[in-house]
Amino acid sequence: MVKSSTSTTQEQSPSGLPIKPIPGNYGIPILSPIYDRLHYYYFQGHMGYFKSHVVKNNSTVVRMNMAPGIFISRNPRVVAVLDAKSFRILFDPSKIEKKDIVTGTYMPSLSLYSGIRPMIYLDTTEQLHSSLKSFSFHLLASRKSQFIPTFLEAYSSLFDLIETKLASGPVEFNSLNQSSAFDFTCNAFLGAVPSEVIGSSASNKVAIWLLLQLHPLASRLTKFIPWPIDDLLLHCVPLPPCLARSDYEALEEFFSKAGESLLEDAANKFGLSRHEALHNLIFMTSFNANAAFKIFMAIILKWLVYAGETLHHRLAHEIRSAVKSSNGTITLNALGNMELTKSVVLEALRLDPPVENQFGRARTDLIIESHDTAFRVKKGELICGYQPLAMRDEKVFTNAEEFIPDRFVGEGKKLLEYVYWSNGPETAAPTIGDKQCPAKDMVILVGRLFVAHLFLRYDTFSAVHEGMLLGLEPRMVFKSVKKASDQ
């Protein structure tokens, strides 16, 4: 710092922004983390909790406690980055370490993964990360021709079932979609349908395994349980991994047989042990892909319901015209001609990414910049980014809180660099040396397939959004469907 006779020159970042202390505090040990957890899950909700800290501190970079906090995590203290600019620090592997922080301030028991650390918990500096990410790219490339036919097979059956059940009254989408999403994902990746091999309980086995990993992030089990009991069950102690042991063993047997050729490739081409490859294959398919697809399709439905029939008719016209020009079949070329459809999918991801939070630990002392201020972060501090708020940044997106279906059509495509759902900008492609989702393009493809399939079958539909399931997924209930008037 340079001093003059009358004033002190404020220190600036390399780009010329004033460097200020990060506002906010962590409060009273033990008591404040508990108080903050209750507000995060029950009194304010996720969005309200983060917004309240922004307003209170007049800053989008702020110190706070992050749920679940004690007693289930070692240290609840984070530096939150809550605008589109500061959030980008989380994508720089030269500055940010990603070891064992996917779920934030706590780490699930490794016994849930047969003792291994799945790729998602590895840092980019670990050699095993490079081998596993290369394997994941190989898996996606080797099966890419199967994505469309396996999706259409699974979701044609799903909507046939929904139509049948609608004759007796409203139909919850989520419970049926749980099975369809898992069947589709496994069929696409492995060429085997788990409900046909394991039985109808296959997706329930995955759901139990996922719950044991993610329950500290869930808001509540059911509205019928008082929140103090709910908090005690979900957020105070880890549920014992042994509850999923038999279910995981069934998955292990299924993946071991169905993925035999992939496991051989993992050993011969990428130097992975069978044990590492098998349990990462289970994780990639059941956690990364299946869980994301299951949640994402419910999110798309939610926003289509809010948008209403006018958008439904616009989508139906675009989708049917594109498919008609492609000999009546949904193809990659046909999907490429559905600009509005793709924009709708991306807008849903912007507002409601399936994974809300991203985390990273500062490798060294570094400077984080928001739009108008810079802040120092010390080596080892945990940084938390809340994506739904960062992607509703009014300085980037006009009417940022609104669902605008054609936001990313035409000139709007320039805004894609601020869509971060994949742990990286939408304009970037995942590489071996970063933590961006390797299946990023497949997720967008599946979202577009879902919308296209929906409006090839129906002119419009009626459904309601009835709260959240575990605070992680919108509960969607179909009331009626109107069959397509033209095919």
Q: What is the pLDDT of residues 260-307, one digit of tens each?
A: 999 999 999 999 999 999 999 999 999 999 999 999 999 999 999 999
pTM of the model: 0.94
pLDDT, position 73:
87
Q: What is the pLDDT of residues 322-369, one digit of tens each?
A: 999 999 999 999 999 999 999 999 999 999 999 999 999 999 999 999
- Ranges of H-type helices in 191-226: 194-197, 202-214
Alpha-carbon span 280 to 136, nearest angstrom:
9
Q: How confident is the model at residue 248 (pLDDT cuts 50, 70, 90)?
A: very high
Strand partners, 20: 375
Q: How many CA atoms lie within 13 A of 320 on its CB side?
A: 16
**Which token pair is 277?**
């490859």
Q: How confident is the model at residue 20 (pLDDT cuts 50, 70, 90)?
A: very high
Q: What is the pLDDT of residues 27-70, one digit of tens each?
A: 999 999 999 999 999 999 999 999 999 999 999 999 999 999 88
Alpha-carbon span 261 to 189, nearest angstrom:
11
Strands 382-386 and 77-81: parallel
Alpha-carbon span 456 to 453, nearest angstrom:
5
Sequence-ordered list of residues with C-beta below 8 angstroms from that of 216, at least 6 positions apart, any chain: 67, 68, 72, 73, 103, 106, 234, 235, 238
* Residue 395: CB atoms within 10 Å: 13
Domain 19-483 fold? Cytochrome p450 (1.10.630)
Query: What is the DSSP secondary structure assignment for residue 241, as one 8-state letter?
Result: G
Does residue 6 carry a pLDDT above 70? Answer: no
Q: What is the pLDDT of residues 181-207, one digit of tens each?
A: 999 999 999 999 999 999 999 999 999
Residue 175: alpha-carbon gap to chain centroid: 19
Is 384 part of any known ligand binding site?
Answer: no
Alpha-carbon span 23 to 386, nearest angstrom:
17
Alpha-carbon span 450 to 477, nearest angstrom:
16
DSSP 3-state percent helix, strand, coil across the chain (nearest 5): 50, 15, 35
